Structure 1
């Protein structure tokens, strides 16, 4: 049996996990809102039309933030269409996803839902087709106590107390030509600076997220961040980046190793931040907001060429016609292999907790999501729900920095340890929690954990996500095909443990 050893010392730490590292995202896209979190008339809908069955499953994730309302959607969205009496709200063509937006759910509805779900909102403003004044007016509507036009209108619409939204995104993927109102880096920096200025005039305490480079395939990758940060650095608190991993016949090893690609992607953003901080002689640190990440296999998008991804042509969604209301699109059916990969990506997030302070799994429900609902029906936890739930529930505390030795494997990202792990120490419970992905496809692997400065330790629990069929998926008929199971530790030797081949594990060490 091959062996990998991780050595830890209580003096060597990466950083503390921010509660917002485990956040998510809801866009007006497909069925994320309509029949996802909101379905008036459903037998389990509350007085506001919110699906309580979906809400209970979401609460178990213990999310920090939920980003809203987009995404590509936000760049051609007028938030004023979604307020006031619902019978007066207009139906609009939604250009990003070729759908019809009914506006039956808007900013007031989202804030009420978030409060009930125990979640803090993170709101994106339209810096594509929208104006900087409209962005500031939205802050006024949400955060000002009263006595002005927009704050009084919020009160009239049923919310006497302000929402006091702290986190605001200055647009979405504005470097992409697929974005409505796409801007160059220079033009975005100018517009975002003005928006930031006005928004902070309304509420000086808000935290702002600048649009960073989204995807490595773009010719502006990293240059965009450098140009934008040169102007925006004093105004913002975070810079965003996005990262999706796709299983496109590159082989199991390379797909599982997506955690390394994400790590490289995050490190690139760090390098630009460090460069601009030094170049501009800035004192504050800007943190990273990975406000979209997930496995996305494009199961119902037809791609003729990479031009489709670069906005030079249009996506062809195969599961819906144009101009439908809340069409069932981008509803990925996630496999065990997808779940293992998501678990690996979560390990990378933990290991970058010193710089990544916000990370939003995109998305939360129905659309490339860990949760699926049926219209007028039930709720399903997809395979990817389980690794995300486990890191959110157990992955809080101080991240320890390891020294790693042992067996390795080769892939397109280089030579990597057979076991990729992240480890946190939770001082309150005095527990060490280890998240470990065994990439060995042939046999089980022994993981030897050694801790210096933590006293005597023993693995008390091992949760395992694994199986013989990597293509196995959860369905409404068989909802437990893929789930996390607790393993018998009767043969465990202290802090040595056997990880099943191709498995994602959580180890609780007391």
Structure 2
């Protein structure tokens, strides 16, 4: 038995929060092959009557994605939503300046709502606060959500959609702090337009929830000041502030790479503290919650993207081929977000198909699962319920940028209705398995029903359409005796230990 031992205590009453299922959301932008050739490929053998790829639909259903952000991303800051509604043959082709491609507008708001319904997902709709503003934002809410009897709601009905879409969650623009963004603004400029857009959008439909743009990433020079200024303007009108962050293993340092979720944790804590400062400053009663609406690993495709021919249609952009070590970090990031379920209510893995995505497709060919598909799927399917606050003691290590990194990254979710308890755990140790002892005496008559493990001896191993060498197995050795769960977590592994009350 390994000398590396970690302990964990789980109690039913040690609750962080009920988990908002939208924490397992994703993102489809009009970028690369996410839409065209991803979710929509009319000539494909598995396309339905709408042109939607049914093989992709089945994989998205397997992930149980509860909400999908749309249509961007950088794309939305130059997007005229009117281009994507009405008869397809009348829709204009536009230059997309965000990604230097040509947008055909074959897919638009109504088509996407139809697709979302097929995969049982809500939509998190973004409005353009780059080249557009208050007027276009309120009109889009009216078009989507108003029952009828007004210009834009009747326009929707004339387009063949009698029932309103009832979109609940809306993003007020995208990454407006970034100089790369079309219509980039200072914090005060964005705060004012977001405040006014939020007001009129909620006047059209008071039931909607709104996400204000936070920083594009934690390393932006304006970080923290941006959040504070934007919330100073919008506190009374919005419900969430957004976070975006991508990571990569550019130095090929696995110990440091797997510790990056600690940075994510600190980022989340920082934004919570800024939101609470504004609440205190305003003598407010409501908490501003968090929407981590772009997160993932993204770095593999950076060089290839420099070679894309400008103004092409749906070129293969941002097509990261994820390896095994990426799946481990994605697992750590998911665990980190669950630890903040009291304030982090929405999160969107960016993105869903082809573009930095868990699902890849080939034109006229198969769809297949990337390595990161599995931790995302496991948490989404088994991580519904209450996020528990585990008491953990673990051996630790230091890396280039971090100190006291626990070898055990873990959390647990309790589903009282189904009488199930799920432990999610990553062993960060490069050489050794980790012996886990988890005290669950508070959960009487529970038994281990499955111990899923994702492991591979080759950190750089990827999956492909032809072969899936990185895939989970259920041969983990978790066992329970007298309220104590024991398990050997293999070196560098993602683990899902599922327990349920004996019937």
1:54 aligns with 2:56: yes
2:458 corresponds, among 446, 449, 469, to: 469
8 Å contact 1:460–1:489 — kept in the other structure? no
Match of 1:417 in 2: 406
1:156 aligns with 2:144: no
Mapped to 2, the partners of 1:59 and 1:208 lie a distance apart of 26
Q: Which runs of 5+ in 2 are unaligned?
A: none
2:76 corresponds, among 74, 90, 93, to: 74
Cα deviation per residue 1:127-159 (whole Å; 9 max; x = unaligned)? 011121011000011011111111111111110
Q: Which runs of 5+ in 1 are unaligned?
A: 303-315
Mapped to 2, the partners of 1:475 and 1:78 lie a distance apart of 36
1:438 corresponds, among 427, 431, 444, to: 427
How many residues get paired? 495
1:284 aligns with 2:273: no
Match of 2:301 in 1: 300
Match of 1:363 in 2: 351
Mapped to 2, the partners of 1:378 and 1:343 lie a distance apart of 26
Match of 1:240 in 2: 242
Q: Segments of 4+ in structure 1 off by > 6 A?
A: none
- How far 1:10 moved relative to its partner? 2.4
Match of 2:490 in 1: 500
Mapped to 2, the partners of 1:325 and 1:14 lie a distance apart of 46
Mapped to 1, the partners of 2:403 and 2:165 lie a distance apart of 48
8 Å contact 1:464–1:486 — kept in the other structure? yes
Mapped to 1, the partners of 2:46 and 2:276 lie a distance apart of 49
Cα deviation per residue 1:403-455 (whole Å; 9 max; x = unaligned)? 22232111222202211101111101212100000011111110110124222
8 Å contact 2:22–2:66 — kept in the other structure? yes
Where 2:37 maps in the other structure, the secondary structure is coil
- How far 1:499 moved relative to its partner? 0.5
Cα deviation per residue 1:203-227 (whole Å; 9 max; x = unaligned)? 1111111001221221100110001
Structure-2 change in CA distance of 1:198 and 1:396 (3 Å) = same
| Deviates most, 398-407 or 452-461 | 452-461
1:85 aligns with 2:73: no
Mapped to 1, the partners of 2:48 and 2:274 lie a distance apart of 47
Mapped to 1, the partners of 2:420 and 2:333 lie a distance apart of 23
Where 1:142 maps in the other structure, the secondary structure is helix
TM-score by length of 1: 0.95
Mapped to 1, the partners of 2:462 and 2:242 lie a distance apart of 32
Where 2:494 maps in the other structure, the secondary structure is strand
Match of 2:381 in 1: 393
Mapped to 1, the partners of 2:63 and 2:314 lie a distance apart of 25
Aligned-pair RMSD on alpha carbons? 1.3
1:455 corresponds, among 423, 437, 444, to: 444
Match of 2:123 in 1: 121
Structure-2 change in CA distance of 1:490 and 1:341 (3 Å) = closer
Mapped to 1, the partners of 2:499 and 2:114 lie a distance apart of 39
Where 1:139 maps in the other structure, the secondary structure is helix
Mapped to 1, the partners of 2:329 and 2:96 lie a distance apart of 32
